[in-house]
Amino acid sequence: MPENKYSRILLKLSGEALMGEKEYGVDTNVVNAIASEVTEVHHLGVQVALVIGGGNIFRGVSASAKGMDRATADYVGMLATVINSLMLQDALEKKGVFTRVISAIEMKELAEPYIRRKAVRHLEKGRVIIFAAGTGNPYFTTDTAASLRAMEIHADVILKGTKVDGVYDRDPMKDPHAKRYKRLKYIDVLKDGLKVMDTTAISLCMDNNLPIIVFSIKESGNLMKIVKGEDIGTIVGP
């Protein structure tokens, strides 16, 4: 077996990735498919951490735009990420993978509180960890939470699983002539306003030279291919 290119990864998934073809909520078939992908990579000896958004259940920015207090809306969104995290934990443990949900908001009956050294120890012991509730602070997205946690646990890379196979100059769902980028610099993402991750998350990665790979989570086997070093999706880096 060839060596893995990455030994410790952080997989960032949007809440919408769990919806499948539904308009809202969670498609359990999609959750099980993602759990299978993670399990395969985990069995290679790769240490896996995840951050999942909550947009399939509640989106704080949208609620704020309709008059809800932004901080309150963001806290509700954080709770939505906990729901998604628990569902993925259940799917992973049904496949025999020991998993810990670690929450930035304390809720002892459901998840462990976030302690950086303890999270790293879980990874070293071969457990998959799922970071829930974002950073625990309003006005910060789960993209920013993913960048922050990836740096705290010294991940080799952030893998952002999306519905499309990389970063495009235009929306490929609307424009069939949209061009996919193979490589991008952080500064180009910021300058051109490309929708990779939010500006805070990109800036954090840029300041710490943490690469981001944007790929399609819908295509089976992509996660394994990236870990093995295949050129999949779009790489954002220095």
pTM of the model: 0.93
Q: For position 234, what pLDDT does the model report?
A: 95
124: part of which helix (H) or strand (E)? Answer: helix 116-124
Q: For position 199, what pLDDT does the model report?
A: 94
Residue type, 116: R
Contact status, residue 232 vs residue 225, Cβ threshold 8 Å: yes
In angstroms, the CA 71 to CA 68 distance is: 9
Q: What is the pLDDT of residues 56-78, one digit of tens each?
A: 998 777 777 788 899 999 999 99
Q: What is the CATH superfamily name and number for domain 8-237?
A: Acetylglutamate kinase-like (3.40.1160.10)
Residue 146: name the closest of 191, 97, 197 by CA: 197
CA 219 to chain centre: 16
| Low-confidence residues in the chain, pLDDT < 50 | 1
- Class of residue 66 by CB neighbours under 10 A (exposed 0-12, middle 13-18, buried 19+): exposed
Residue 28: name the closest of 88, 114, 70 by CA: 88
Residue 199 DSSP SS3: helix
Contact status, residue 104 vs residue 145, Cβ threshold 8 Å: yes
Which residues are 215's β-sheet partners? Answer: 161
In Å, how far are 18, 95, 131, 215 from 47, measured between CA atoms?
A: 22, 16, 14, 19
Q: What is the pLDDT of residues 11-59, one digit of tens each?
A: 999 998 998 888 889 999 999 999 999 999 999 999 999 999 999 998 7
Pairing assessment for the beta strands 167-168 and 180-181 based on DSSP bridges: antiparallel
Q: For position 2, what pLDDT does the model report?
A: 56
User: What is the DSSP track for 11-68?
Assistant: EEE-GGGGTTTSSSS--HHHHHHHHHHHHHHHTTT-EEEEEE--TTT--HHHHHHTTS
